Structure 1
Amino acid sequence: MKKITLLLLTVVSLIGLAACSSNATTKTTEKRHLLKTPIQEQATTMGTFIQVTVYDKGKTQAAKNALKITYQYNKWTTVNQSGSEVDEINKEAGIKPVNVNAGVYQLIKDGYNYSKTNVGYDITVGPLTSLWRIGFPDARKPSQSEIDAVLPLINYHFIKFDDAKHTVYLTKKGARLDLGSIVKGYVAMLMVDQLKKAGVTTGIVDLGSSSIYVIGNSPRSATSPWRIGIKDPNDPTGQQMGILQAANAHVNTSGIYERYLKVGNVKYSHELSPKTGYPFDNDIASITLLIKGKDSTNGDGLSTMIFAMGTKKGYEYVEKMKNVQAVFVDKNNKVYITPGLKNKFELTETKTFKIGKIADLKN
């Protein structure tokens, strides 16, 4: 499931700073042994454009190695072409367990645990996404009878694990896993871990702009956070509506407007509810999470799960989490910011968007 685009302002602006910065900034950068022009490695895989940006000297191979992880997980998890481990699990649904590698096994377990929250997120949503095919040339609105036929196939309880054998078994014939909503966040963290082990202190891992991890502070100085632009969910190709400051954190966005199917005058988002068979019908236009520490293991899964809750319940859920903050944008162009972002978020498009009070929303 693709997400609303984030505009990473610093990819461009920091390169400019490195080239024409003040003496003070340049000296700070030199003391940190950072490059003026960063190392960048790019790839198109996992259904998106991926970029690794590193400012540490001598880390070209580290960036290349991090990028290799994306190719490997695309090979293991894609359901859009045959031969992946997840595709094998789906083919053997109701027949037999399938042995998978440790990384895929843990990824599916993460998805299973998110599904257990019972808020409308389920990684066995595959039969439904295969019907709608939103984001592909053959996308269409299924008939009600088609939707009714696949809804009984969507239930995370159909997933059975064997920790000793590393097997995954879908007990219901016709059930299908779809890891598109969580795999990018998982892979981003694997890439970050590998880069840090290789000695990278300053950089960006960007998986399609929906799952971004900023390593350390920005190259401007050892105390300057990165500045990440959050796009207008009503016009994701236009200007950003706000700027979020982040350092050594995972930033994830889920939303409804970038990837959709239009039938007549109705837009159908790719964010499908496994309970109704249709896009989630709530007030969220987009949600951006700022995640630190252990909670950043899979920000994609977390943002998708919270998206399913709606603004009020999602906001209250985030408030209970120690290492997670959020920016919610609702369909009325109201912006709700959790307390931890009070001095880290700036609303830049004030003509269209207004800061709202969460207490004014009904459940």
Structure 2
Amino acid sequence: MKKKWIMIVMTCLTLLILASCSNDEAKSAKKANKDLLENPYSKTEFMMGTVVTLKIYDKGKEDALDQGFARAKELADKIDVNDEATRSTEVDKINAAAGKEAVQVDPDIYYLIKEGIHYSAATGGSKDVTIGPITSLWHIGFPDARKPSQAEIDARLPLIGYQNVQLNDADHSVYLEKEGMQLDLGGIAKGFIADEIEKVFKKNGVTTAIIDLGGNIVVEGESPKGGDWTVGIQDPFSPRGSIIGKLPEKNKSIVTSGIYERYLDVDGKKYHHLFDPKTGYPFDNNIAGVTIISDKSITGDGLSSGAFSKGIQEGLKFIEKQKGVEAIFVSKDKKVYLTSGLKDKFELTDKDFTLAN
């Protein structure tokens, strides 16, 4: 009987010790989660002409930051549209061979060009991956930006046309049919790179993260606080970080394009960087900015110009037809228009703006 009581006491002590360890482990895990919530693994670099910030909230996954940046740099070096004085990318080789011969490219670039053709067709050509002859002529965002003459623009307009790009899936070759044609992948490059960083994170077991490539934001998983992230919607009239409202989202890309982000001022008139392939001039309508919410960031890039080109009412109709895609349009007179899926989600926080629909 005495032995039996000793065994019961020993068992109780063991259970108490296990419970104490379990509580300590829970407290330790809770503290670690709180620390990551307040101070996630984070890294920031300037690349692709913008500030890139990656944040990871999963304990022990800090190494994925460097891997994410390594993938971003690898792709930026292949695509780069910024360092034009010294670059020699595969896209440059395709452009140099326009009207002469096909150029074989690696799978990343081939995929990006193919996606560019896809969105060119999906937007009815209002976003055209062959806009290069016009963007290089105006060169907005660079020190030598200028307003070209009408004769210069007219001479280059016939060179634009995604239908004149031949793709060969068998050997990943690309051929531009007309001499002088130029691909410009800048309009979808950041979206592609953001999606590729997310792939790297998932491969490394990251479940909760923020990928911020300037105008392209990806929120991966749930917020460390639980539930959706609170995503700020960029004010198109102000520097990055100024918001007009917020949305609850998770596992989504948020892409914002605005006319005040990059522009050329000539005699008091601002010319922004979003070009109409039909006229060779920036789109001229009442839109100041468009935010696209989608599953993939390249989708947001791909559809933003199409939405922008159509004006607010037709742009709303265009996005409503896209499966799994929502949008926020901001007019030049600071009115905010929402697609149907956001009307019960979006919260306007800036009193200078008003909801219009």
Q: Distance in 2 between matches of 1:296 and 1:253?
A: 11
CA distance in 1, matches of 2:207, 2:290: 28
Query: Which stretch of structure 1 is more off in the superposition, 73-82 or 198-207?
Result: 73-82
Counterpart selection for 1:88 from 93, 96, 117: 93
1:283-338 superposed Cα distances (whole Å, 9 cap, x missing partner): 2111111112xx55532122222222221111112112231111111122111111
2:352 is equivalent to residue 355 of structure 1 = no
Q: Deviation at 1:47? A: 1.9
Matched positions, count: 326
Letter aligned with residue 355 of structure 2: I
Quick one: percent identity of the two aligned structures? 47
Q: Judging changes above 3 Å, is the alpha-carbon distance between structure 1 residues 29 and 329 closer, same or farther for their aligned structure 2 residues? A: farther
SS state at 1:94 partner: coil
Distance 2:276 2:196 in 1: 28
Change (3 A) 1:184 1:253: same
Matches within 5 A, 1:162-181: 162-181=168-187
Q: Is the 8 A contact 1:227 1:246 kept in 2?
A: yes
Structure 2 distance, partners of 1:122, 1:238, is 29
Q: Distance in 1 between matches of 2:120 and 2:167?
A: 15
SS state of the match for residue 117, structure 2? helix
- SS of the counterpart of 1:187? helix
Deviations 1:83-123 (A, max 9, x none): 10101100111111111111110100010011113241101
Q: Which moved more, 1:89-98 or 1:41-50?
A: 41-50
Q: Distance in 2 between matches of 1:103 and 1:268?
A: 32
TM-score of the pair, normalised by structure 2 = 0.86
Q: Specify which structure has the bigger relative contact order, considering alpha-carbon pairs within 8 angstroms and separated by 6 or more residues.
A: 1
Pairwise CA RMSD? 2.0
Look up the equivalent residue of 1:68 and give its one-letter code. Answer: A
C-alpha deviations, 1:140-168, integer Å up to 9, x for none? 00011111111111111221011111101
AA aligned opposite 2:40: P
Task: Give the distance between the partners of 2:276 and 2:266, measured in 1 at CA.
Answer: 18
Q: Distance in 2 between matches of 1:133 and 1:192?
A: 31
- Return the offset for 1:265: 1.2
Q: Secondary structure at the match of 1:52?
A: strand
Is the alpha carbon distance of 1:119 and 1:161 closer, same or farther for their aligned partners in structure 2, counting shifts above 3 Å?
closer
Quote how far apart the aligned CAs of 1:239 are. 3.8
Partners of 1:92 and 1:325 lie apart in 2 by 39
Give the Cα separation in 2 of the matches to 1:40 and 1:230: 22
Match of 2:337 in 1: 336
Matched, 1:62 2:49: no
- Aligned ranges 1:113-124 → 2 under 5 Å: 113-117=118-122, 118-124=124-130
1:181-260 map, 5 Å: 181-208=187-214, 210-221=215-226, 223=227, 225-236=228-239, 239-260=242-263
Q: Is 2:322 the counterpart of 1:321?
A: yes
CA deviation string 1:3-23 (max 9, x = no partner)? xxxxxxxxxxxxxxxxxxxxx
Structure 2 residue matching 1:116: 3-state secondary structure = helix
Counterpart residue number, 1:135: 141
Question: What amino acid maps onto 2:344 in structure 1?
Answer: N
The residue aligned with 1:49 is 51
2:21 maps to: none
Q: Which amino acid aligns with 1:53?
A: K
Name the structure 2 match of 1:262.
265
100, 109, 112: which one aligns with 1:104: 109
Greater C-alpha Rg: 2
> Deviations for 1:112-140, whole angstroms, at most 9, x for unmatched residues?
01111324110101010111110011110
CA distance in 1, matches of 2:222, 2:90: 37
Cα 1:68–1:184, aligned 2, differ >3 Å: closer, same or farther?
same
Partner of 1:276: 279
| 8 A contact 1:33–1:57 mirrored in 2 | no
Q: CA deviation at 1:248?
A: 1.0
- The answer (yes or no) to whether the contact 2:95–2:176 under 8 Å persists in 1 is yes
Match of 2:40 in 1: 38
Hey, what's the Cα distance between the residues in 2 that align with 1:44 and 1:277? 30
Q: Distance in 1 between matches of 2:195 and 2:31?
A: 26
Distance apart, 1:57 and its partner CA: 1.3
Which segments of 5 or more consecutive residues in structure 1 lack a partner in the other structure?
Answer: 1-25, 358-363
Greater share of helix: 2
Deviation at 1:31, TM superposition (A): 6.7
Q: TM-score, normalised by structure 1?
A: 0.85
Task: Measure, in 1, the Cα distance between the counterparts of 2:31 and 2:294.
Answer: 26
Counterpart of 2:234, as a letter, is K
Shift of 1:65: 0.5
Q: Matches of 2:135 and 2:102 in 1, distance apart?
A: 23
Shift in CA distance, 68/339, structure 1 to aligned 2, threshold 3 Å: same
Deviation at 1:238, TM superposition (A): 7.8
* Structure 2 residue ranges without an equivalent (≥5): 1-27
